Amino acid sequence: MKTHQRSKELYERAVKVIPGGVNSPVRAFRAVGGDPIFIHRGEGAYLYDVDGNRYLDCVGSWGPLILGHAHPDILSAISAQLPNGTTFGAPTELEVLFAEELCEAVPSLEKVRLVSSGTEATMSAIRAARGYTGRDIIVKFEGCYHGHADFLLAKAGSGVATLGLPECAGVPAAVTANTLTLPYNDIEALHATFREYGFSIAGVIVEPVAGNMGCVPPISGFLEALREVTQRYGALLLFDEVMTGFRLAYGGAQERFGILPDLTMLGKIAGGGLPLGAFGGRAEIMDVIAPVGPVYQAGTLSGNPVAVAAGLATVQTLKKQRHVLYERLDRIGGKLADAFRYAAEEAGVTVVVNQIGSMITVFFTDLPAVNNYAQAKTSNTQRFARWFRTLLEEGIYWPPSQFESAFLSDAMSDEDVYQLIETARAGFYKAREA
Ligand code: PMP
């Protein structure tokens, strides 16, 4: 058995001064039991906790670390920036370079603005969509998470799903009155909503592959329907690529599926592990933003040079490696999904494994498929927790929630993948007992 003595001590101190002992809810392990593990450092594919235990990291800081921890090119870009200062509140050459790289990488981007988190990116993009169209209604999908802005917390995924919160306290009903929420992958419901409200809808925001109810890819025709119906009614299509950007392809889900949104939000990988988000799209839309247009949007640390240095180094590294890296991640992801299905069946546990590229979730459900949040919620979370705890005990750090996608990294070796498969197999036998 691993010891977690130092983590336990830190957690006891943490809960006295930090709500729940954590600075973001899913970290608290509430859904899987046990105390959270405090991390000392990361290197490549591995995390090391404060008790000296090593874990194969399948969380990757919830998405950013596609190249693994402490990647030398990213560390040296950060180190090179540091002696020049950490923030200026004035434009820099790095920001221009970075914006140029982002617009070149992501097919639909003509202009982009930098912010400091994914939440800020979605919040600001929606303000731009409303300002541009002069309309108020936003359509989102159940189980999708777009950060913690008030009006986007309606039927949200991620921690809201993990903790099973029906509504978020502190959000007045009036604030979500212009947010319509539909089941993911439901083309019928989409058309019905547009027939009724179409010309009042400013935009539809979607995770082009959902990662916040566990991994749920779009069914065939869903993204196409979104593109077609928004265009027909003069509404904007917003792809929240905070998770999928630079992950499912160099140009994100929009490159992978060949569907171009009007606005795109980025974060996570684009920030190279530092606090950075971005939103962008067609120039004529982005020019509604101040100081050109009337939609106000600002930030003291927006375009922070240290974060931009990390983001730029990450994007440039991915650009160099993209022809092998994404194919390799697809291969590893596919191999894991097949092996998980086989091992679960062998152990007599029914699961649905959803996987695309380096995003993967094992749903412990009896349903034949998981295409939306209602289906995801049929999962047996006791079984998931048992499986999770077996993995953790054996040195695999998997997301501590049934409703979060795992993220693979290029730092994982083929031996790591083999170890993961063997451990998961043992986990399925344990899960059967739950
Ligand atoms: N959008 C998506 C799709 C996300 O997955 C997240 C975070 N998990 C966010 C937005 C919010 O990003 P942040 O946590 O950086 O505010």
In the prediction, which pLDDT does 32 show? 95
C-alpha of residue 401 to centroid of ligand 1, in Å: 16
The mean pLDDT value of the chain amounts to 97
Ligand 1: centre distance to CA 187 (Å)? 24
- Residue (of 268, 319, 279, 291) closest to 91 by Cα position: 291
Q: How far is the CA of 147 from the centre of ligand 1 (A)?
A: 5
C-alpha of residue 117 to centroid of ligand 1, in Å: 7
Strand order in the sheet with 359-363: 352-356, 359-363, 406-407
Pocket test for ligand 1, best of 146, 148, 213, 265 (most atoms within 8 A of CB): 146
Structural contact between residues 282 and 262, judged by C-beta atoms closer than 8 angstroms: yes
Peptide bond into 291 cis (omega under 30): yes
In this prediction, residue 167 has a pLDDT band, given cuts at 50, 70 and 90, of: confident
Intervals of CATH 3.40.640.10 along the chain: 72-318
DSSP labels for 22-41?
SSSGGGG-TTT-SPPPPEEE
Residue reference for tokens 């240290």: 306
Task: Determine the 3-state secondary structure of 101 from DSSP.
Answer: helix
Mean pLDDT of 391-399: 97
Q: Which mutation among 158, 207, 242, 269 tests ligand 1's pocket best, with the greatest number of atoms within 8 A of CB?
A: 242
Per-residue DSSP letter, 231 = H
Q: Give the pair of three-digit tokens for residue 158.
A: 């991620």
Architecture field, domain 72-318: 3-Layer(aba) Sandwich (3.40)
Nearest-atom number in ligand 1 for the CA of 122 is 10
- DSSP for 252-305 reads HHHHHHT---SEEEE-GGGGTTSS-EEEEE-HHHHTTBTTTSSB----TTTT-H
User: Does residue 162 surpass a pLDDT of 90?
Assistant: no
pLDDT at 155: 81
Neighbours of 187 (CB within 10 A): 15
User: Which pTM value belongs to this model?
Assistant: 0.98
Report, as residue numbers or ranges, the catalytic residues: 145, 240, 268
Other CB atoms within 10 Å distance of the CB of residue 221: 11
Domain with CATH 3.90.1150.10 in the chain: 5-69+322-433
Indicate which residue's Cα is closest to atom 5 of ligand 1.
243
**Model ipTM?**
0.99
Two tokens, residue 81: 């920036």
> What is the predicted pLDDT for the residue at 383?
97
Predicted local confidence at residue 159, as pLDDT: 82
Backbone region of residue 89 per phi and psi (left: phi > 0; alpha: psi in -120 to 50; beta: other values): left
pLDDT, one tens digit per residue, over 205-259 is 999 999 999 999 999 999 999 999 999 999 999 999 999 999 999 999 999 999 9
Return the CA Rg of the chain: 21
What's the pLDDT band for 127 if we cut at 50, 70, 90?
very high
pLDDT of residue 267: 98
Q: Which CATH architecture has domain 5-69+322-433?
A: Alpha-Beta Complex (3.90)
User: Which pLDDT does position 180 carry in this prediction?
Assistant: 95
Specify whether the CB–CB gap between 239 and 266 falls below 8 A.
Answer: no
CB 378 within 8 A of CB 36: no
Alpha helices by DSSP H, 168-273:
173-176, 187-197, 222-233, 252-257
